[in-house]
Amino acid sequence: MNLHEYQGKELLSSMGVAIQRGYVATTVGEAESAYQRLKEETNTEYCVVKAQIHAGGRGKGGGVKLAKNEADLRTYAGNILGMMLKTPQTPGGMEGPGKLVKKVLIAEDCYAPDFDACKEYYVSILMDRETRRNVIIYSTEGGMDIEAVAENTPHLVHKEYIDPLAGIQGFQCRKIAFNLGLSGKAYAEMVKFIAQLYKAFVSSDASLFEINPCLKTGDDRIIAVDSKVSIDDNALYRHADLEAMRDTDEEDPTEVEAKEFDLNYVKLDGNVGCMVNGAGLAMATMDIIKLSGGEPANFLDVGGTADAERVEQAFRIILKDPNVKAILINIFGGIVRCDRVAQGVVDAYKNMGNINIPIIVRLQGTNADIAKKLIDESGLKVKSAILLKEAAELVTEALA
Amino acid sequence: MSVLVNKNSKVIVQGFTGKEGTFHATQMIEYGTQVVGGVTPGKGGTKHLDRPVFNTVVDAIASTKADVSIIFVPPAFGADAIMEAAEAGIKVIVCITEGIPVQDMVKVYAYLKTKNTRLIGPNCPGIITPDEAKVGIMPGFIHRKGRIGIVSRSGTLTYEAVDQVTKAGLGQSTCIGIGGDPIVGTTTKEAVELLMNDPETDGIIMIGEIGGGMEAEAAYWVKEHGTKPVVGFIAGQTAPKGRKMGHAGAIIGGADDTAEAKMKIMASCGIHVVESPANIGETMLKVLTKK
């Protein structure tokens, strides 16, 4: 689950990590009062208006602006709130429709008063699958696209692996601060920043913390100016406070609906829908669709219980996508009996009444023969197969 | 022979009296697996499915000499159950539980390094040595005793491969479902290595999916040490970048963990890569008869 920048910062701040101060606003009026509060706290007229959407590169689409006075603030907040913000990471990229901005973060200009005395760093934490350890990735090249830095100047990207049983040690924090070229107060601040950041990462069950930039201010403080935070979905049961931060506006509405029915659905751009039990087989089914001349319209794992009700829900979700020209149902019955699933398909089909596209049902495993007979004799316009290969041929036929 | 489990394996079930534990323990017993008891804290001293229930894994081992454990506890208790089994001295732990938090598994993985235990899973269908022992949730009847070893990250896709192998007239030595999570106890390479060293296995089917570097690692190992034909498939050729495809571990992070990249590496290491999951069984048959 991804958090907004302002939510990530709230989380960091609550765990003792220094952040850029700011207040979130949903209207221009709220933005103005946030500005007044900030002005009193920071003693400057300047502030930054930042669009809150789940995508990076917001500055490129005009979603981040430096306001130099209250009039600027009003203009920028007014422009950004309600805009369709396009960034390289929103669906379709800079050519796509963009994402609706519903909230802005009014944040202190932490580069003031002496911009040149500031320095931007990069710090992130994630679980490294190869070593099965958490790793802190850091660089002196902050404020830029870290993938480009790693590509062009790999020697400037450092990694520090943390022993899972011992946790982060002081020498590791010191090493990071030294490698970033810091000394004096800024060094001490960075040591503290890294230690707190790591503790926050583990205790919030995060799967990613990315602080870019992590800023050394003119007066040698170290603060998180941006935050990209993802939380491990599997751990949300022990973080009700974080779960409450979920913003379903940022997710595909059909995927949100599918989740309510406990269906694992991911929307794709193709023309053949699919309904499968098991994630691996679902991916393999998408591949079969492609090899048969179609493009998968979705990933959908119905899980272990494929009864009439779930099949019907799955049908409804797939059919919401107007691009779907055919549906392939692929069930390997193990514990689930195929005849039950077949009955589910027949019942769901009859209940829905108006499915006008070809349906191909491939049922294999327990009672596959009975299931095929059930489908074949149902009188419905449903084609059945037992072998995966036969199903693939039927998909090609349906698209022809 | 075969690997990991056989007819002599003495299996206990952690989470024995729960719904999942009860259902699958029953199926395992029907298959002929030696299920010698189970663990449900607080229910020690009672009987379930005509077998003794213990409070702790230590008690269960003392009474039954169990060497294999299968875990069906809810995700919040998964890490704890794995570590309890390892500490007590269980040799092969099969964790079926799906949804254990990643940070829990980071700790478990480090903890297991200090123990003489092999963990399979979590989030896996388990292990089966046909006609000897089924320690998992797979449908037993699709398997046939034979000489093909299967390694896979997924459940139903493994059944698909098993079924094709059986229909091709071949059978299976041992099928190992290693699990779909980002951190699993036994990697693709380790499972392939076990089967490569098994005298009762003639060929290996390796089924991977997008995300992580396990298949590449296994492929490079096969190139160096392989003595038997390996047929490989990677699910998710059509999966978009950055989206989780059901399994917590099935997510494309960069350029090297796409299906395409993995298949290329596997082919370059001498693995017979199939593009279509419908051709796994027949490819194995072809490769074996050509030999």
Q: How far apart are the first and last CA of chain A?
A: 40
Q: Determine the average pLDDT of the residues in A266-273.
A: 94
- In this predicted structure, the answer to whether residue A136 has a pLDDT above a threshold of 90 is yes
B62 pLDDT more than 90: yes
Task: Extract the tokens encoding A268.
Answer: 């794709």
How far apart are alpha carbons B69 and B78 in whole angstroms? 13
| Closest residue to A232, CB basis, from B103, B107, B207 | B103
Q: B230-245 pLDDT, tens per residue?
A: 999 999 999 998 888 8
pLDDT at A32 over 70: yes
Mean pLDDT of A284-303: 94
Contacts of residue B110 in chain A, CB cutoff 8 Å?
132-133, 163-165
Candidates A237, A280, A366; nearest CB to B155: A280
User: Cβ of A195: how many Cβ atoms within 10 Å?
Assistant: 20
Provide the annotated active-site residues of A. 122, 210
CA pair distance B72, B256, nearest whole angstrom: 34
CB pair distance less than 8 Å for B163 and A332: yes
DSSP string, A272-290: EEEEESSHHHHHHHHHHHH
Task: Please indicate whether, in this complex, the C-beta atoms of A127 and B111 are within 8 angstroms of each other.
Answer: no
CB atoms within 10 A of CB A183: 10
CA pair distance B217, B235, nearest whole angstrom: 17
| pLDDT band with cut points at 50, 70 and 90 for residue A288 | very high
Task: In whole angstroms, give the CA distance from residue B167 to residue A361.
Answer: 20
Tokens coding A160? 């520090």
Choice between A302 and A181, residue whose per-residue pLDDT is larger: A181
Residue A304: is its pLDDT beyond 90? no
Q: What is the mean pLDDT of chain A?
A: 93
Mode of pairing for the β-strands spanning A22-25 and A104-108: antiparallel
Q: List the structure tokens of A273.
A: 């829908």
Q: Does residue A113 register a pLDDT over 70?
A: yes
Q: H or E element: which one contains A376?
A: helix A368-376
Give the tokens for residue A60: 């490129």
Q: Is B215 on the interface with A (CB under 8 A)?
A: no
Nearest to B245 among A127, A202, A283 (CB): A283
pLDDT more than 70, % of chain B? 99
SS3 A328: strand
The label of the residue with tokens 């192998």 reads B165
Q: How far is A334 from chain B (nearest CA, A)?
A: 5
> Are A224 and A209 spatial neighbours (Cβ–Cβ below 8 Å)?
no
Per-residue b or e along B152-190, where b marks 16 or more CB atoms closer than 10 Å to that residue's CB: bbbbbbbbbbbbbbbebebbbbbbbbbbbbbbbbbbbbb
* Confidence at residue B206, expressed as pLDDT on a 0 to 100 scale: 97
Closest CA to B164 of B279, B286, B32, B68: B279
In sequence order, what are the residues at sequence separation of 6 or more whose Cβ sits closer than 8 angstroms to the Cβ of residue B167? B281
Of A2, A125, A130, A132, which to mutate for an interface test with B (greatest number of B Cβ within 10 Å)?
Answer: A132
Q: Do B238 and A164 touch (CB under 8 A)?
A: no
In chain B, which among 44-73 make CB contacts under 8 A with chain A? none
User: What is the distance between the alpha carbons of residues A115 and A218, in angstroms, rounded to a whole number?
Assistant: 7
Give chain A positions within 8 Å (CB) of B142. Answer: 334, 365
Chain A residues whose CB is inside 8 A of the B138 CB are 334
Q: Which residues of A touch B243 (CB under 8 A)?
A: 266, 299
The whole-number pLDDT of residue B242 equals 84
Comparing C-alpha atoms, which of B68, B66, B172, B195 is closest to residue B119? B68
**Across A334-338, A346-350, B45-49, B161-165, least confident range:** A334-338
- Pairing outcome for strands B172-177 and B126-129: antiparallel
Give the pLDDT score at B102.
97
- Whether residue B101 and residue A392 make contact (CB cut-off 8 A), yes or no, is no
pLDDT of residue A354: 77
Rg over CA atoms, chain B: 18
Q: How far is B35 from B50, CA to CA, in rounded Å?
A: 10
Does the pLDDT value for residue B1 go beyond 70? no
- Given a contact cutoff of 8 angstroms between Cβ atoms, the answer to whether A134 and A203 are in contact is no
- Give the pLDDT of residue A365: 83
User: What does the block give as tokens for A235?
Assistant: 């751990």
- Give residue A174's pLDDT: 98
Single pTM value for the model:
0.93
B284 CA to chain A: closest CA distance, Å?
16
User: Does position A335 have pLDDT exceeding 80, yes or no?
Assistant: no
**What is the structure's pLDDT at A117?**
94
The b-or-e profile of A258-281 (16+ CB within 10 A means b, else e) is beeeebbbbbbebbbbbbbbbbbb
Residue B218 is encoded by which pair of tokens?
């296994």
Asked if B106's CB is within 8 angstroms of A127's CB, the reply is yes
Which residues of chain A make contact with B100, given a CB cutoff of 8 A?
234
- Name the band, by pLDDT with cuts 50, 70 and 90, for residue B247: confident
Per-residue pLDDT tens over the stretch A6-18: 999 999 999 999 9
pLDDT at A147 over 90: no
Query: Whose CA is closest to B31, among B162, B129, B170?
Result: B129
pLDDT on residue B270:
97
Q: Give the helix ranges, DSSP H, for chain B.
A: 19-31, 57-64, 78-88, 102-112, 156-167, 188-196, 214-225, 259-268, 280-290
Q: Which residues of A touch B164 (CB under 8 A)?
A: 388
d(CA A313, CA A1): 24
pLDDT at A306 over 70: no
The answer, yes or no, to whether the previous bond of A113 is cis (omega within 30 of 0) is yes
Q: Check B101 against A281: CB less than 8 A apart.
A: no
Chain A nearest CA to B242, separation (Å): 11
Distance CA B285, CA A324 (A): 36
Q: How far apart are CA B22 and CA A335, in angstroms?
A: 14
If contacts are CB pairs under 8 Å, which of residues 36-95 in chain A contact chain B?
A: none
Mapped onto helix, strand or coil, the DSSP state of residue B130 is coil
Give residue-wise pLDDT tens across range A194-235. Answer: 999 999 999 999 999 999 999 999 999 999 999 999 999 999
Q: What share of chain A is helix, strand, coil (3-state, %, to 5)?
A: 40, 25, 35
Contact with chain A for residue B75, Cβ under 8 A = yes
Mean per-residue pLDDT, B202-210: 97
Quickly count: other Cβ atoms within 10 Å of residue A217's Cβ: 21
